[in-house]
Amino acid sequence: MTTITISYPDKSRRTAITQEPAWVRRTLIGLALIFLALFLFVPLISVFYEALKKGVDVYFAAITEADARAAIRLTLIAAAIAVPLNLIFGVAAAWAIAKFEFRGKNILTTLIDLPFSVSPVIAGLIYVLVFGLQGWLGPWLAEHDIKIIFAVPGIVLATVFVTVPFIARELIPLMQAQGTEEEEAAVILGASGWQTFWRITLPNIKWGLLYGVILCNARAMGEFGAVSVVSGHIRGQTNTLPLHVEILYNEYNYAAAFAVASLLALLALITLAIKTFVESKVTQQKIKE
């Protein structure tokens, strides 16, 4: 979804001839800021304002009660499974696509991006169609007393689905740009495949990898639609943090809903901070090369 943007010499300092008059500049900046304030900053601030409106005690009670703790635990579990799986997938896919030439590469790249163009609701639905009681594997699973839909495995699967492309799509263009010369040299000098990967490839892609991981993690912890379809909404058992927000909100418990939501908003801000830091690292790396 996002690509790492690299800023070259600052284009905002310009000669008079290619610069708009001051009043045009000020009007445009003003319009942009008003739009951003209405659509970005005010909503963000309002989350924390609503969360703390009823006081700090209510806030901490809401985020430490048993159901909230269970939701935090399940969200962490889902992300702890989905992110490493998609990390391994991302590295494998990028290795195959970026380091080798083979037929059907473009199709494979498009297929990896597929989960981004599927509605989260449909992502949940397809797992119901496979694992649900009416689904392909439903009767067999019921016979062996295995629950996937309306249980934790379903939540994990839906989370994995929606986060499949994140790491792969950061690594593929990065590794393509780096080429294969360094790895080829290592192999010719006698390094094994794993040695080459750990000593040469990994140090080269570490920032891109981290970038993909934090975006993948943010989506894994924040996913709502897909998880909502497969969860069954059992409080304390199959509720992730975003689903817990929905339940509290629908119970008109706004202060608690926003308190839990503020944890997720905080996660988003931390994600953006790390992302900005990583982008500056990538820019430095580019300039050095």
Partner 1 sequence: MSTFKQHSVLPGFNLALGFTLLYLSLIVLIPLSAAFFRAAELTWTEFWTVVTTPRVLASYRLTFGASFAAALTNALFGLLIAWVLVRYQFTGKRLIDALIDLPFALPTAVAGIALTALYAGNGWIGQFLEPLGIKVAFTPVGIYVALTFIGLPFVVRTVQPVLEDIETELEEAAAMLGANRLQIFLRIIFPAIFPALMTGFALAFARAIGEYGSVIFIAGNMPMVSEITPLLIITKLEQYDYAGATAIAVVMLVISFILLLIINLLQWWSRHRNALA
Residues within window 124-153 making contact with partner 1, judged by CB under 8 A: 125-130, 132, 134-136
Least distance to partner 1, CB of residue 17, Å:
5
The footprint of partner 1 on residues 206-225 (CB under 8 A) is 215, 218, 221-225
**Is 60 a residue that touches partner 1 (CB under 8 A)?**
no
Give the side-chain half-sphere CA count within 13 A for 27: 5
SS3 133: coil
Question: Quick one: tokens of 242?
Answer: 């975003």
CA 189 from centroid of its chain's CA atoms: 38
Residue 115 lies near partner 1 (rule: CB under 8 A): yes
- Name the DSSP class of 18: G
Name the segment binding partner 1 (CB under 8 A); options: 29-37, 139-147, 170-178, 205-213: 29-37
Count, residues near partner 1 per rule CB under 8 A? 111
| Region near partner 1 per CB under 8 A, out of 56-64, 66-74, 100-108, 205-213 | 100-108
Residue 49 CA: distances (Å) to CA of 54, 55, 177, 201, 267: 9, 10, 45, 45, 17
Q: How many CA atoms lie within 13 A of 203 on its CB side?
A: 7
CB of 201 to partner 1, least distance (A): 10
Pick the binder of partner 1 from 65, 69, 84, 110 (CB under 8 A).
Answer: 110
Site for partner 1 in 9-28 (CB under 8 A): 11-15, 17-18, 20, 24-25, 28
Whether the Cβ atoms of residue 227 and residue 243 lie closer than 8 Å to each other: yes
State the distance between the two ends of the chain, measured CA to CA, in whole angstroms. Answer: 26
